Amino acid sequence: MTASLQPALSALDIARNRQLAIWLLISCAMVFVMVVLGGLTRLTHSGLSIVEWKPLMGILPPLSEAEWHEIFAKYQAFPQYLKINHGMSLPEFKGIFWLEYIHRLWGRAIGLVFFLPFLFFLAKGYIGKSLRPHLAVIFILGALQGLLGWYMVKSGLVERPDVSQYRLSAHLIAAFIIYGYMLWVAFDLLHPAARSPGVAPSPALLRLAWIIAGMTFLTVFSGGFVAGLDAGLAYNTFPLMGGQFIPEGYLDLTPWYLNFFENIAAVQFDHRLLATLTFCLITLMWLKARKEKLAGSSMAALNLMMATALIQVALGISTLLLFVPLALAASHQAGALVLFTLGLWTAFSLKFDLRQ
């Protein structure tokens, strides 16, 4: 992640940085909501209800009955309606339309909430030279994320009435990258003037924190393939899959590497395995930190991460056993982002304590 952006700060710099950090944290909160909305559109199969991408003209929804019939007629020409929702009424269509519409509108709102304050802070001289490249990268990534979202939707407007699991996973993980980047920059802008009180952490703890953040990221990536293949609707038992630890047909596809991305049994097993390993690493780190008598913000972050990991495991198992109910599945996806947030907070706190 980024190095320290402001090594020597005046009182005025600290006040300005706090305002910049609040702006970035608000943007992060909006991305968080966007991830949850994206999960809901996937779970309700609403994402293919709008078959055109109009970045500017698409801001307004249908405003008359004629416009509703026009947009519904366009939807009726595509595979999701023809193969899955044939006979759907206009009121039923409106139900899936509004969720996707809000999802897209929220994405545009994030762009405005990021870009307009950026221009304001730049004009006021709040943004230093070292910070500008980071903010520029975040803005570019956000714009590319919009393009990636439409690229994902396009994959479901052809023969198969479902989006590509590859594009879905890429879209999901890109959101995590943007979120994590903004969050880290905000942390750096808010860092305290002195090290947190308590025992200084060992470098091994920091390495473990980075490994956990990476494992959480990888688990989320694998979760995108689970969602894209609807793999959560198969093998709804735990801990065994079809009565076995490693499910039958794990390596059925050829070439072998396709199993990790296209084989439902392999995709679900890999997600379970990665989640279990991540939970074990978090538990190990928590026990090690307690043994070292770690204190301050690092221990607070780690305690929250341990508690969140327990909740996340419970949500994941419950979602599976209950055949992916909407509320639990959405909570599980939100929980992944909370866990990722706490992983980055833990890593930042440990890094900051070590460099004092």
Tokens 């929980």: give the residue: 335
Distances 92 to 22, 68, 97, 260 between C-alpha atoms, Å: 40, 12, 9, 36
Cα 141 off chain centre by: 14
End-to-end Cα, the chain, rounded Å: 18
Indicate whether 292 belongs to any domain.
yes
The token duo for 131 is 């910070």
> Are both 185 and 116 inside the same structural domain?
yes
Indicate whether 302 belongs to any domain.
yes
> Are both 32 and 60 inside the same structural domain?
yes
pLDDT at 356: 53
Indicate whether 55 belongs to any domain.
yes
Please list the ranges in the chain whose pLDDT falls under 50.
193-195
> Are both 233 and 338 inside the same structural domain?
yes
> Are both 61 and 119 inside the same structural domain?
yes
Domain boundary among 190, 208, 241: 190
DSSP secondary structure code for residue 237 in this structure: -
Domain count, the chain: 2
Indicate whether 281 belongs to any domain.
yes
pLDDT at 295: 75
pLDDT at 13: 84
Q: How many CB atoms lie within 10 A of CB 137?
A: 14
pLDDT at 5: 52
pLDDT at 159: 86
Is-contact 309 285, C-beta < 8 A? no
Indicate whether 320 belongs to any domain.
yes
pLDDT at 194: 45
- Residue 115 CB contacts under 8 Å (≥ 6 apart), including other chains: 139
Structural domain for 274, as ranges: 193-356
Angle at 173 between CA 167 and CA 179, to 5 degrees: 140
The tens digit of pLDDT for each residue in 101-142 reads: 999 999 999 999 999 999 999 999 999 999 999 999 999 999
Tokens 């924190």: give the residue: 209
pLDDT at 201: 77
Indicate whether 2 belongs to any domain.
no
The tens digit of pLDDT for each residue in 66-89 reads: 999 999 999 999 999 999 999 999
> Are both 185 and 215 inside the same structural domain?
no
> Are both 91 and 50 inside the same structural domain?
yes
> Are both 162 and 203 inside the same structural domain?
no
Indicate whether 162 belongs to any domain.
yes
